[in-house]
Structures are given as structure tokens and as C-alpha cells.
Amino acid sequence: MDIKVIGGEMSRKEIDAYIAQIKKENPDKEFKSFEFTVDGEYVDVNYTYDMVPFERIRRITGYLVGTLDRFNNAKRSEVEDRVKHGIGECSCSLEDIA
């Protein structure tokens, strides 16, 4: 983790306190860097964090799911029988829409 202090000095204890508070407020973030800008008695804190990977969620047969591993055989069969619609070019004209 990259830590920078600009415009003044801060003790390691003070830096750690700021970082601990920010991590407490953002428990799901993985931080990459912190930048502390000291202006007299005030400290501005800027930080960056890694993007968190997400799981794809789909609506299948009325359920929001990420994977099909918890579906029973009947639900798996429904998924296999679904009609999948593609995204193609529209063959209609603007007059048809109006």
C-alpha cells in the first residue's frame, strides 16, 4: 500500500488511525494508496482502492441467481428449455414505430 504525506508531517500513529477509520467505514474495499495533505490543523485524505470483482446475476425463471448449482432438476430443465433472444438489427422503420 502506497502512503504519501504532503505539506507537513504526520506521525505513524496518526496515519494508522486515519487508515483504520477509513477501513472501518469501507470494510469491503481493498485499498491501494492513501494521500494525506496537511494544511495547518486540517488533513485532507484521498485514497484509491482496487475494483472488487462481481458475480454476474441473471433473472432466470423468476429467480435472481448467479449460478445454477442450487437449482433442482426441474429448474435446470426450465433453464435448458428457455428461448434465448438475441440482439439483432430491427427490420422496422420509423413509420412503424410512430
CA distance 34 to 51: 16
Q: How confident is the model at residue 3 (pLDDT cuts 50, 70, 90)?
A: very high
Single pTM value for the model: 0.52
Whether the Cβ atoms of residue 36 and residue 5 lie closer than 8 Å to each other: yes
Which tens digit of pLDDT belongs to each residue from 46-89?
999 887 677 777 776 677 777 777 788 888 888 788 777 767 66
Q: What is the pLDDT of residue 68?
A: 76
Domain boundaries, the chain: 2-50, 52-82
Backbone angles phi, psi at 64, to 5 degrees: -90, 120
What does the alpha-carbon distance between residue 29 and residue 14 come to, in Å, rounded to a whole number? 21
